[in-house]
Amino acid sequence: MLWKRSLPGIRRVLLVALTAVATAIVLERSATAQTPTPPAAVKPVKSPPPPPVRKFKAVDADNHNLLINKPGLITLVLGTNEDSQDEARAAGKAMYPLQGRPDFLLIVVVDLRDSIATWAPSMAISQMRSNLDEEAIELKPYFLKNGNKNNPRGYCHVVPDFAGTICPQLGWSESSEDLRGILFGADGRELKRWEKLEDMDKLLAEVRGAIQSLDAANLAKAAAAAAKPQGSKLVQPTTPPPPLPPVAATRR
């Protein structure tokens, strides 16, 4: 019959169709396997925050509690003893033109751990106060030039260290016959350290450069704040710091 004669042909057609379907499935799976997987998004690694600023506290010769690395200004700390008194005086005088500025502070730490002064600390402190009284008189013209009408005596800080309560904190574990120094930035962190200070002109240039950078940063912040819309709020203009004296003029 006709349908019996057509059966082989139908089988061939079905076989061809099934073969085509199987081939299409294999090709699709192969194409899917070859498609590259997009890389996973890489999260940016945050840098760890800086360690907290260590605060160095001391008591000066006037029995005032003092934060040595006070934030907001440049602080020069001089470390001296009986062997480096002359160098300490020279460094102090080199800083006279910067005294009275709102962005600078000088602190002198006197290492008396190996001194005979430990036998009579009250006499040593009395002499320090007398010397500071005399120095305040010398500093008055520089304070006025920098726009500071306050008594310089309140800005003169000498820290006597009889028992090693402050020198080791500053990294001076042993006494030295050399004048040493540390420069702290406005964030309270150490900017530079000297184990032997001899060139006072170079020291002055370093301190002056740090003050200049601080003032520039403060003025930039003030300008950015003034540029923002304040609405009805009154914004007081920032008082600019006194101009820094030329390096050549500061050593006269």
Q: What confidence score (pLDDT) does residue 38 get?
A: 61
108/89 Cα distance (integer angstroms) = 10
Residue type, 186: A
Pairing of strands 157-161, 190-194: unpaired
In sequence order, what are the residues at sequence separation of 6 or more whose Cβ sits closer than 8 angstroms to the Cβ of residue 25?
none
Q: What confidence score (pLDDT) does residue 151 get?
A: 97
The architecture that CATH gives domain 57-223 is 3-Layer(aba) Sandwich (3.40)
162/17 Cα distance (integer angstroms) = 103
Residue ranges of domains in the chain: 57-223
pTM: 0.78
Question: Hey, is 90 helix, strand or coil?
Answer: helix
181/107 Cα distance (integer angstroms) = 10
101/65 Cα distance (integer angstroms) = 21
198-229 pLDDT per residue, tens = 999 999 999 999 999 999 999 898 888 877 77
98-138 pLDDT per residue, tens = 999 999 999 999 999 989 999 999 999 999 999 999 999 99
